[in-house]
Chains A and B, each alone.
Chain A
Amino acid sequence: MSWWRRLLKRQEMERHLDAELRFHFEGLVDDNLRAGMSVAEARRSARLQFGGIEQVKEECRDSRGTRWLETLFQDILFALRTLRKNPGFTLAAVVALALGIGANTAIFSVVNAVLLKPLTYPDPDRIIQFMLKLPTGITPGASVTKFNVWREQTRVFEDVSGYYVGPGLNLTGDSRPEQLRGMYVTANYFQLFGAPIVEGRAFTADEDRPNRGHFVVLSYGLWQRRFGGDPQVVGKALALSGDPYTIVGVMGPGFSTDPVPAPDVWIPCQFEPNSTDQAHFFLAAARLRPGITLDMAKAQMEIAADQFRHLFPGVLGIFGPQDGFTVEPLRDALVGEVRSSLLVLSGAVGLVLLIACANVANLLLLRAAGRKREIAIRASMGAGRGRIIRQLLTESVVLSIGGGAAGLALGILGVRALLAVNPGNIPRIGEHGSAITADWRVLGFAILLSVATGVLFGVIPAFQASRSDLGETLKEGGGRTGTGTGQNKARSLLVVSEVALALILLIGSALLIRTFYALQNVDPGFDRRNVLTMGMSFSGSPFKKTSQVSQLIHNAVQRVDALPGVLDSGLTSNLPFSGPGHSGLPFTIVGRPLANGSSLGRVGYVTVSAGYFDVFRIPLQRGRVFIDRDDDGAPPVAIINQAMARTFWLKGDPLADRIVIGQGYGPEFADSARQIVGVVGDIRDEALNRNPQPIIYVPMAQLPDGITALMARINPVAWVVRTRVEPHSLRSAIETELRQASGGLPVGSVRSMDEIEGQSTARQDFSMLLMTIFGSSALLLAAIGIYGLMAYSVQQRTQEIGIRLALGAEPGTVRNMILLQGMRLALAGVAIGIAAASGLTRLLASFLFGVQPRDPLVFLAVPILLTAVALLACYVPARRATRINPLEALRWE
């Protein structure tokens, strides 16, 4: 019989057991009768022979092997009964645990979605991303020249694929014009990522060669939206940015690769096999061949780097001997720096749970004191110590599972609500955190955490309670129990650790709050209030030559500036706070010798229209800003920022020098020497917490045609407009003017500069918000812990305090005595907390800005705050102590 059947048939088995033993007993009686005893004598003798029938039954039950389960059921039922009889205690404990476990489940559900869940591609662990090893660090990125070298490494990789989100495609035609998000991919991208094509097919290798025409794969969403899901669209032409694209297939729903959001169309890259284009503008990934390990692939990439250096000796300045190639598992590359912030949050939320555990353990200790008699009686009835501990632990685990169930629901709902408000730029969480779900990992985590928590906070109280001295307890009066020093010591220890843990958390959140305000107050070097930005794509448009772009800028700026409420307008290749910095280009200074390599270094390269500096109110330090006449007919000019001037003109005057940009980057970048005409102030345009880097500004109207054409292909531009009024109120007016000036090009992602800034700091804000929530919960829990202990202590000492008061002790003295008792514990906790925090805050260093990990202000203010709260928590019970009526206290009991 299987164990569960035995378990289910428990009643039947009990009946059988009883019948069997009764039969035996009757047998003994019969024998005795036969031996000539009287009936009464025969039964008495049989009972003596047989021994304790209940003991035999117990041993038979034990031999069944399902004993532990039956006991567990009994214990759980008993625990539920006991908990129901103490609704106040149960509620307090479940709420504390729900908060602790809920917060942990919430963070874990994010960790799960971001770090643990495998990618949704076939055999995802074998997919790697190509990385560049640069002196500044390892970063993802690929140029066509490098990609072509990687594609040759067929011994270790298969399906080497390139992909990038292009500048956006303009879907004009029948209805409202729309800017589509287009992802450019090489043909084997679909194979690599296992892309589900639902209609038609993916691109062929031939369609991915240069000059083979235009092809497109539609996203499921676009197919439904624009074509009503008509399968007949395959083979038809779609007009994008003025060119006819043949629709070859439709992608299945839900498929996407980074960068998110998912594109509307996929288009073949059609890379030139003999390209000399050194610009890094896309990502490359591949699958490791069977039997190839990550280390073998990395070793092969070293060889590939040497091959690349031989192929392009001219670009040594950009790809020097210290630079290299490597690969990383795609998942690691995607998650990047989010990993460390999630780990810090996990640690912090774990501390919150520890505090909650300490609190509940204290509650249990108090309750165990009240149950001392019950436990003593059970022990005297023959329950072993192990048995009692097991019963008490079952109770605490039942409690924690109740808290865990509530916490699981709370955590998932909470984290989705938080992410809906602030998605925090976290990769892999889907649209508004939709990828964060309660899958088996999250469920398992919550269950495991609940059980572990139950054991953790239950074990000390259970051992304490079961250790009680039987005789003493039973002799003692019914009510006055639990004043034993052992229990008090355990409770005090718990309160001290609670305070210490809370202090650590509070210091962490205080540091992040300081960072938040430091970022708010940092001067970015430009004025971002009242600026509206709009993206525009020149891809496939007539604006492929510099003179055409120059004409467009002229027309558009004239029209937009004429709008009431507009102060200035301009166009730029790089919006501040969006994207990972500037595409750096190498440069040389005419007449300055090169120490080594072919350039002086790589610096930021930003192309702008004349109005750019006015729109952002970037201060001019020397010389002049660009003017409308700086076009292809005028002498070539450039403007540099202060960081550039500081770095490269230790002596000498930049305004006297000419620079050459992009040498060795291929014919597209061929440019003449530019006279530096001005120096402008630094701006923090990568991120508020990044120091300004050297930047060269070049007028858009004066770019070499090669760069203009390249930019049109790979980089969207952005219009920036300074307004006198709320920027979004002018949105449609500006949109209309831009569309007319550009001959019908749509604009995309219309955002104010404030919004862009908000998005760029979203992740830091999110961490700060969470840490603040954790810190406040910790403070609250610690305060409750101190209050609970002191209130109980006063209650316990009622009689003693009554005697003191009766003997003439001043109420103030009594109050101070209680205060001192509580504050001794609080201050011990604070001291331990400070010591621990000063070691731990180092882990936060990379998240901080404008504040040191051991910021004296934080390390002074937080302990004072915590001490004040502790004082308040002690004060209430202390005051109650002074109000004890001596007469009543003496009569107590």
Chain B
Amino acid sequence: MTQAKSDLPQGTLDLLILQVVMLGPIHGYAIAQRIQQISRDILQVQQGSLYPALHRLENRGLLAAEWKGTETGRQAKFYSLTAKGQVQLKTETESWKQLAKAVRLILESSEADAV
């Protein structure tokens, strides 16, 4: 099992959170679960990074929060994406793709050289 906490590049966790929240209002615990599921257990988000990140995104106005009852009847803090958050998600996704592409190109070229 990979410990994603320190391996995730700076800012990547924010991007993942925004992406997960985009699907609809969701509480912190579910966000952690969802990231873990979708990444097929490769990424495991630690509470120690998740909650500070959530609060930071809320402070920056990218996420909105609301206390609501869950299906089990307990009160939980549900996060949803603001308009500003949607814009941010879009630009960050773009730049992440660019970066990933660039990194892949470089890695592949050096592999070819090495052969």
**In B72-97, which residues have CB < 8 Å from any A CB?**
74-77
Mark interface residues in B50-74 (1 if CB within 8 Å of A CB, else 0).
0111011001000000010000001
**In A455-492, which residues have CB < 8 Å from any B CB?**
none
B25 CB within 8 Å of chain A? no
A70 CA to B27 CA in the complex, in Å?
Answer: 27
Taking the closest CB of chain A, its distance from the CB of B83, in whole angstroms, is 17
Mark interface residues in A2-18 (1 if CB within 8 Å of B CB, else 0).
00000000000000100
Is the Cβ of B47 less than 8 Å from the Cβ of A51?
yes
Instruction: Indicate whether A51 sits within 8 Å of B46 (C-beta atoms), given known contacts A20-B28, A23-B74, A64-B59.
Output: yes
Mark interface residues in A50-87 (1 if CB within 8 Å of B CB, else 0).
11100110011011110000000000000000000000
Is the Cβ of A59 less than 8 Å from the Cβ of B51?
yes
A167 CA to B56 CA in the complex, in Å?
Answer: 77
Q: Quick one: which of B29, B51, B76 contacts A60, CB cutoff 8 A?
A: B51
Instruction: Indicate whether A21 sits within 8 Å of B55 (C-beta atoms), given known contacts A26-B74, A27-B29.
Output: no
A2 CA to B92 CA in the complex, in Å?
Answer: 26
Interface residues on A, range: 20 to 34
| In the complex, chain A residues whose CB is within 8 Å of the CB of B77 | 16, 19-20, 23
A24 CB within 8 Å of chain B? yes
**In A806-842, which residues have CB < 8 Å from any B CB?**
none
**In A151-183, which residues have CB < 8 Å from any B CB?**
none
A52 CA to B46 CA in the complex, in Å?
Answer: 11
Is the Cβ of A63 less than 8 Å from the Cβ of B29?
no
Q: Quick one: which of A24, A52, A60 contacts B52, CB cutoff 8 A?
A: A60
B9 CB within 8 Å of chain A? no
| In the complex, chain B residues whose CB is within 8 Å of the CB of A62 | 52
| In the complex, chain B residues whose CB is within 8 Å of the CB of A59 | 48, 51-52
What number of B residues sit within 8 Å (CB to CB) of A? 19
| In the complex, chain B residues whose CB is within 8 Å of the CB of A51 | 46-48
Is the Cβ of B55 less than 8 Å from the Cβ of A56?
no
Chain B, Cβ-Cβ closest to A3: B59
Is the Cβ of B59 less than 8 Å from the Cβ of A56?
no
A813 CA to B74 CA in the complex, in Å?
Answer: 82
A60 CA to B27 CA in the complex, in Å?
Answer: 16
Is the Cβ of A64 less than 8 Å from the Cβ of B55?
yes
A63 CA to B59 CA in the complex, in Å?
Answer: 8
Taking the closest CB of chain B, its distance from the CB of A42, in whole angstroms, is 15
**In B1-48, which residues have CB < 8 Å from any A CB?**
27-29, 32-33, 46-48
A65 CA to B48 CA in the complex, in Å?
Answer: 17
Is the Cβ of A23 less than 8 Å from the Cβ of B48?
no
Chain B, Cβ-Cβ closest to A26: B74
Instruction: Indicate whether A56 sits within 8 Å of B29 (C-beta atoms), given known contacts A23-B74, A26-B74.
Output: no
Instruction: Indicate whether A24 sits within 8 Å of B29 (C-beta atoms), given known contacts A19-B77, A59-B52, A62-B52.
Output: yes
Is the Cβ of A21 less than 8 Å from the Cβ of B52?
no
Taking the closest CB of chain A, its distance from the CB of B20, in whole angstroms, is 15
Instruction: Indicate whether A23 sits within 8 Å of B55 (C-beta atoms), given known contacts A50-B47, A56-B47, A56-B48.
Output: no
Is the Cβ of A63 less than 8 Å from the Cβ of B47?
no
**In A18-36, which residues have CB < 8 Å from any B CB?**
19-21, 23-24, 26-28
| In the complex, chain A residues whose CB is within 8 Å of the CB of B51 | 20-21, 24, 56, 59-60
Taking the closest CB of chain A, its distance from the CB of B87, in whole angstroms, is 20
| In the complex, chain B residues whose CB is within 8 Å of the CB of A55 | 48
A50 CA to B28 CA in the complex, in Å?
Answer: 13
Q: A16-B67, A27-B29 are in contact. List 18 more A-B contacts (CB 8 A).
A: A1-B59, A20-B28, A21-B47, A23-B29, A23-B75, A23-B77, A24-B28, A24-B29, A26-B74, A27-B33, A50-B47, A56-B47, A56-B51, A56-B52, A59-B52, A60-B51, A60-B55, A64-B59
Could you tell me which A residues sit within 8 Å of B by CB distance? Answer: 1, 16, 19-21, 23-24, 26-28, 50-52, 55-56, 59-60, 62-65
Could you tell me which B residues sit within 8 Å of A by CB distance? Answer: 27-29, 32-33, 46-48, 51-53, 55-56, 59, 67, 74-77
Interchain Cβ contacts under 8 Å between A and B, 28 examples: A1-B59, A16-B67, A16-B77, A19-B75, A19-B77, A20-B27, A20-B28, A20-B76, A21-B47, A23-B28, A23-B29, A23-B75, A24-B29, A24-B32, A24-B47, A24-B51, A27-B33, A50-B47, A51-B47, A55-B48, A56-B47, A56-B51, A56-B52, A59-B52, A60-B51, A62-B52, A63-B56, A64-B59
